[in-house]
Amino acid sequence: MLPNRRLALQLTPLLDLLLIVMFSQYIENRDRSVAAQERLVTQEKLWDTRLAGAEAAIEQRRLELEKNVAEQKALLAELNKTYDDKYKSIINQHHQIGSILAESLNLPANVIAEVLKLQTTGSSDDAGRLQDAAERLQNLMQARGAEVFRFMLQVDEMQKHVTIWEIHVQENGQALITDSQQSFVTDFSSDADLATRLFESSKSFTEPKTLIVVLLTWSDAQAVARRRAADAMPLLMEQLRRDASGTRWYDFSIIGYRAQGSLFNSAKPTTP
């Protein structure tokens, strides 16, 4: 009997150890399951976040594409209108210039009354010169009518995009700036002073077109005044271009001496 009881006493610790090992494995497996579950939840949230970001990016791109399509449609409509207006303008130009050419070719018939008037008043020389000039103009129009036609088209198109200003240095040393509608006269002591004064005066002009060409002329002004005016032109262009911020372009051309005075004689000058 004793050997059997010793065997039972030896199996009990083994059973306890087995239970402990099994419980430890259960705890370990449960922790692993919880960790795996947490990783799955975290991964799921990460994918949800990425999916939401991708959907937001796709929606943003869709809105941008729709906006671009709308802008392109509006631009296309504007271009169609612009080209349609230009086409109509060209047709009108052809009609107008054709009428001008027709009238020009009939110029001798239009001036015959004036020639007869000169002859009856004893001015036969003036009458002869007028008749010769009319005949030369008629011959020129017949021989080079196509060139005149193209030139008049170019001038008409240029007037749509170009504004002409003039700076005229007068005999008294003052400078006149005009856009043919308004004129301002100012004194000046240096090229920088003139550029500043002209810039301030130009702000009162009617809003110009895309390209503004400033012409510099002078009458019997002193050389120092002419030189200061010529030196002031680049300074004035710099101020005008900086003020326009790229919306318009300014340039200048020095015409020089004009015995007849300013190119624009209709505008009444104002002293600022």
Provide the CATH number for the domain around residue 248: 3.30.420
Boundary-marking domain end, from 38, 64, 89: 89
Q: For residue 222, is it within any domain?
A: yes
Give the three-state DSSP class for 9.
helix
Taking alpha carbons only, the member of 257, 88, 104, 272 closest to residue 188 is 272
Give the three-state DSSP class for 119.
helix
The structural domain count of the chain equals: 2
Residues 168 and 262 in one domain: yes
Boundary-marking domain end, from 89, 110, 125: 89
Is-contact 164 248, C-beta < 8 A? Answer: no
Sheet holding 211-218: strands in order across?
Answer: 249-257, 211-218, 162-169, 175-178, 183-186, 269-270
In this prediction, residue 24 carries a pLDDT of 77
Sequence letter at residue 235: L
> Would the pLDDT of 161 be above 90?
no
Residues 166 and 251 in one domain: yes
Q: For residue 39, is it within any domain?
A: yes
> Would the pLDDT of 119 be above 60?
no
> Would the pLDDT of 173 be above 80?
yes
Residues 85 and 168 in one domain: no
> Would the pLDDT of 231 be above 90?
yes
Q: For residue 8, is it within any domain?
A: no
Looking up tokens 């303008």 gives 89
Q: For residue 106, is it within any domain?
A: no
Is-contact 262 226, C-beta < 8 A? Answer: no
Residue partners of 156: CB distance under 8 A and separation at least 6? 93, 97
Mean pLDDT along residues 112-136:
59
Residues 81 and 166 in one domain: no
In this prediction, residue 151 carries a pLDDT of 61
Taking alpha carbons only, the member of 248, 260, 159, 186 closest to residue 217 is 260
Q: For residue 155, is it within any domain?
A: no
Residues 72 and 167 in one domain: no
Residues 169 and 258 in one domain: yes
In this prediction, residue 238 carries a pLDDT of 94
Pull the structure tokens for residue 41.
């939840």
Which of 40-44, 115-119, 158-162, 236-240 holds the top average pLDDT? 236-240
Residues 72 and 168 in one domain: no
Residues 167 and 74 in one domain: no
Using CA atoms, how far apart are residues 191 and 175, in angstroms rounded to an integer?
11
Using CA atoms, how far apart are residues 263 and 180, in angstroms rounded to an integer?
9
Residue pLDDT, tens place only, 68-115: 888 888 888 888 787 777 666 665 655 555 555 545 545 544 555 555
Using CA atoms, how far apart are residues 76 and 84, in angstroms rounded to an integer?
12
Residue pLDDT, tens place only, 27-36: 878 878 877 8
Q: What is the DSSP string of 169-230?
A: E-TTS-EEEE-SS-EEEE--SSHHHHHHHHHHHHTTSPP--SEEEEEEEESS--HHHHHHHH
Q: For residue 102, is it within any domain?
A: no
Residues 77 and 169 in one domain: no
In this prediction, residue 174 carries a pLDDT of 92
Mean pLDDT along residues 238-264:
87
Calculate the CA dihedral of residues 109, 114, 116, 120 and round it to 10 degrees. 180
Band of pLDDT at residue 1, cut at 50, 70 and 90: very low
Using CA atoms, how far apart are residues 30 and 23, in angstroms rounded to an integer?
10
Residues in the chain, total: 272
What range does the domain containing 63 cover? 19-89
Residue pLDDT, tens place only, 179-199: 888 889 999 999 999 999 999
Cα 58 versus chain centre, distance: 34
Q: For residue 156, is it within any domain?
A: no
Looking up tokens 């001496």 gives 257
Mean pLDDT along residues 18-23:
78
Boundary-marking domain end, from 40, 65, 89: 89
Q: Secondary structure of 227-271 in the HEC alphabet?
A: HHHHHHHHHHHHHHHHHHCCCCEEEEEEEEECCCCCCCCCCCEEC
Taking alpha carbons only, the member of 160, 154, 201, 197 closest to residue 179 is 201
> Would the pLDDT of 56 be above 90?
no
Q: For residue 150, is it within any domain?
A: no
